[in-house]
Amino acid sequence: MYDAIAGRYTFSCPRAGESRVALSAFRTIERLPGTAHPVVYRVRFACACGDEHDGLVAHDELDWAPLGLEGGTFLNLMTSRVEPVAAELGELAATRIKAGEWPWSFFCYPEERPRPVFPSAFMLLTPGSVGSNGRGPLGLAVRCPACARTSVNVVSHEHVDVPFHNDREVGVVEQLFADDLHATVEEFRAELWSARFDARRLALE
């Protein structure tokens, strides 16, 4: 389902048959109750066809596959052979984590500090106005794994899509949000882009 080289998830699309989207194209991520081995998440994603569709993602596909641990194969043009990439990408990820880098992070507003996180902690993602580069900021609601409260950051698409690409500064919405954000998605989106937020430096310890 996840292509580690292209950085895209593959879902079915009622119109095109198949859709390949980045993590930043997800709009909601919700754990399905009763799932355990593996945990399964229902995601709603923005499709290239112009609509939003629902899909299912297993926990390992959501949190671990982007690190390349199931990276598949690629054609090595130097050797003209098809070679696996999982071992190399996995070793690279492990080395960076041991060095103190984390693949994803966010700024926890209640705790006033940056925190490491996995995509399974993301709740809502909503794009802002498109800039001159064709991409705008991304509003990201995260349930903190430490304090279990929800914070909203304003980040770049790369901050979400590219493991270990952590924005040096993120926008932090200075407000505590309820846990039922999924029930008020449109209200959340309107409030996010009208809210005042501060830029915070995101430097994990």
For the segment 161-197, what is each residue's pLDDT rounded down to a tens digit?
999 999 989 999 888 776 666 666 667 777 777 777 7
Same domain, 95 and 109: no
Same domain, 131 and 151: yes
CA 114 from chain centre, in angstroms, equals 16
Range of the domain at 9: 1-99
Mean pLDDT of 39-64: 94
Same domain, 93 and 108: no
Same domain, 146 and 183: yes
Same domain, 82 and 116: no
Domain boundary (59, 84, 99) is at 99
192 or 44, higher pLDDT: 44
Domain boundary (56, 79, 99) is at 99
DSSP 31: E
pTM of the model: 0.84
Six-digit token string for 141: 């609601």
Confidence check: pLDDT of 28 > 90: yes
Same domain, 58 and 79: yes
Confidence check: pLDDT of 109 > 90: yes
Mean pLDDT of 20-34: 94
Same domain, 108 and 174: yes
pLDDT value at position 121? 96
Confidence check: pLDDT of 205 > 50: no
Same domain, 151 and 136: yes
The whole-angstrom separation of Cα 116 and Cα 205 is 10
Mean pLDDT of 152-168: 93
Q: Phi/psi of residue 161, each to 5°?
A: -80, -30
Q: What percent of the chain has pLDDT over 70?
A: 87
Number of independent structural domains in the chain: 2
Q: What is the mean pLDDT of the chain?
A: 85
Domain boundary (80, 99, 118) is at 99
